[in-house]
Chains A and B, each alone.
Chain A
Amino acid sequence: MTASEPDRPVLFSLAALLALCGLADSIYLTVTHLTGEDVACVASSGCSEVLSSAYSSVGPIPLGAFGALAYFVAFSLATLAAFGYRRARAFLPVVVTAMFITTLWLLYVQAFVLHAFCDFCLLSASLTLSLSIIVAIDFFTRSRHYPASGKMSGP
């Protein structure tokens, strides 16, 4: 990390914490999918519809498993970034952008295809959105103030 570019450990620690929550949510969704449990929603009414729909898995693999993997990768990168690893900091926006696009697609499916929403999916969407905001804050402020920051390497 160059002397002129702040590490922002608090920002990335927050990102890691959010990714950890997403990881827990995704693991829960994966397990309920695999056991066939009928998940009850609290705030919405469509958990069963969403989680048992054709969009809830890719082949035999539940979508939650992909979510868990993505959140774990995001957590790892955010943790490394919090400790000043520049490569991780540079790669985090790529992962979070992919997660954000996937989230938008899943929200579209819930709203316009299934016409049902699931609490746990909405929680995941809000976590991904928060992650995206954090990453965007870091990315754009860094780009604006430190356009020619140092080489991408470990601390």
Chain B
Amino acid sequence: MRRHLPITIIGVVFLLAIGAGLMLLRLKQPPSAATAPIPEAASPTPAIPVQPDASVAPVTSTIAQEAPEAAPARPQPEALHVRGKANAPVTIEEYGDFQCLPCAAFFPVLAKAEEDFGDRLRVVFRHKPLHKHEHAIMAACAAEAAGLQGHFWEMHDLLFQNSERWTKGVDTVGPNAPPSRRLDSKLLAMPTEVRDVLLVYAEMLKLDLERFKADLDSPEVKARVESDRTRGDNLGIDRTPTVYLNGRLMTYLTIRTTEGLHSAIEAELNGHPLPAATPPAAASVPPK
């Protein structure tokens, strides 16, 4: 009996480890509905009027409900940030956070897919600034403020391409900064430093800086970001990036690499789409 005891213990631990890993993997998948559209009643509509881009069709029927009710008196944030042709057979909808490093890692993967699939792929971006990222909302607002001047995607790209820099305020430090400050730059930047970097980016994009500054703090822009976040909350999204492929939730594990995302898109184009991460169901997670 004693002879077999250690082998038994090792076997039990092995099975427990595998079981715990699989259970944790299952639990860590987004507990949301498998499909992106949710009843509008479950998603409080923001109080801001919207200007849908005429060049693109709504991704889902739900999005179509976000049509403008009245002509706005001043430029308003876009209803939806879409890149690609309206009739593209594949639509990727990403809920992202500009301060989230996995989102930044996913950015080149998605960019490569856009490049490779061209007109066959359309990308929708929605904000999901996580509460634990203190600069995420400001960055999202910067993208929206740039969007008011027609440069949402350019700012979106800049923020993801440089996420490790602006989150640490590196761009406010400069090459001639003293070594001690460069060391500090490895820590998270202060909000004022991040704001300075965002203004630098706005300048790089040749935006109207005064207008950008005003829009960065405007309630309309914040409401636009919050409306996306609320929508994500209603879908039960608690992590980023969360990606929907033609309305079906994808596991990050499936699409996090160029090969994985390409395979998923190819499967979609070939009429054999990958299964959704969770069975289709109505959103059941209450808004936070």
Per the 8 Å Cβ criterion, residues 36-94 of A in contact with B are 36-38, 40, 45, 48-49, 52, 60, 68, 72, 75-76, 79-80, 82-83, 85
| Of listed A34, A35, A45, A115, residue having the most chain B CB within 10 A | A35
Restricting to B169-220, which residues have a CB under 8 Å from any CB of A?
183, 186-188
Complex A-B: 26 CB contacts under 8 Å: A20-B13, A24-B20, A27-B17, A31-B28, A34-B25, A34-B252, A35-B239, A35-B251, A35-B253, A36-B241, A36-B252, A37-B239, A38-B100, A38-B101, A38-B240, A49-B164, A52-B101, A72-B13, A72-B14, A79-B6, A80-B10, A82-B6, A83-B5, A85-B6, A115-B183, A155-B3
Q: Beyond A60-B257, A80-B6, A83-B5, is A31–B130 a contact (Cβ under 8 Å)? A: no
The answer to whether B21 and A31 have CB atoms under 8 Å apart is: yes
B174 → chain A closest CB, angstroms: 18
- For B122, list chain A residues within 8 Å (CB): none
A30 within 8 A of B: yes
| Residues of chain A with a CB closer than 8 A to B41's CB | none
- The answer, yes or no, to whether B132 is at the interface (CB within 8 Å) is yes
Q: Is the CB of A116 within 8 A of B186?
A: yes
In the bound complex, CA of A35 to CA of B253 (Å): 6
Contact status A48-B21, CB under 8 Å: no
Which of B28, B183, B257 is the most central at the interface, judged by chain A CB atoms within 10 Å of its CB?
Answer: B28
Question: Would you call A37 and B188 a contact (CB within 8 A)?
Answer: no
Apart from the given pairs A31-B21, A36-B239, 12 other A-B contacts in the complex at a CB distance below 8 Å = A23-B13, A34-B252, A36-B102, A36-B241, A36-B252, A38-B97, A38-B130, A38-B240, A48-B100, A48-B102, A72-B14, A79-B9
Taking a contact as CB atoms closer than 8 A, the residue among A23, A79, A115 that contacts B186 in the complex is A115
B-facing mask of A2-38, CB < 8 A → 1, else 0?
0000000000000000001001100110111011111
Contact with A along B220-246 (1 / 0, CB 8 A): 000000000000000000011100000
Q: How near does chain B come to A152, taking the closest CB pair, in angstroms?
A: 16
User: Is B71 positioned at the interface, with any CB of A under 8 Å from its CB?
Assistant: no
Q: Is B256 an interface residue (CB 8 A)?
A: yes
> Is B73 part of the contact surface with A, judged by Cβ < 8 Å?
no
- Residues of B10-54 at the interface with A, using a CB-CB cut-off of 8 Å, are 10, 13-14, 17, 20-21, 24-25, 28-29
Cross-chain contact B101 with A48 (CB below 8 angstroms): yes
Residues in B with CB closer than 8 Å to A72 are 13-14, 17
Min C-beta distance of B35 to chain A, whole Å: 20
List 8 A-B pairs, minimum CB-CB distance, nearest first: A36-B252, A115-B186, A52-B101, A35-B28, A83-B6, A36-B102, A31-B24, A48-B101
Provide the residues of chain A in CB contact with B251, threshold 8 Å. Answer: 35
A81 and chain B: residue at smallest CB distance: B6
| Contact assessment for B10 and A79 in the assembled complex, using a CB-CB cutoff below 8 Å | yes
Chain B residues with CB under 8 Å of A30's CB are 21
Interface core residue of B20, B24, B100, B252 (most chain A CB under 10 Å): B24
A window 101-146: CB within 8 A of B: 115-116
Say yes or no: A35 contacts B10, CB within 8 Å: no
> Is B105 an interface residue when CB atoms closer than 8 A count as contact?
yes
A88 to B106, CA, bound (A): 43
- Residue B2 at the chain A interface, CB threshold 8 Å: yes
Question: What are the residues of chain A within 8 A of B24 when measuring CB–CB?
Answer: 27-28, 31
Chain B residues with CB below 8 A from A32, complex form: 28
**Bound: A35/B186 CA distance, A:** 26
Contacting residue for B132 out of A23, A40, A60, CB 8 A: A40
User: Contact between A38 and B186 (Cβ–Cβ < 8 Å)?
Assistant: no
B188 touches A38 (CB 8 A): no
Residues in B whose Cβ lies below 8 Å from that of A24: 20
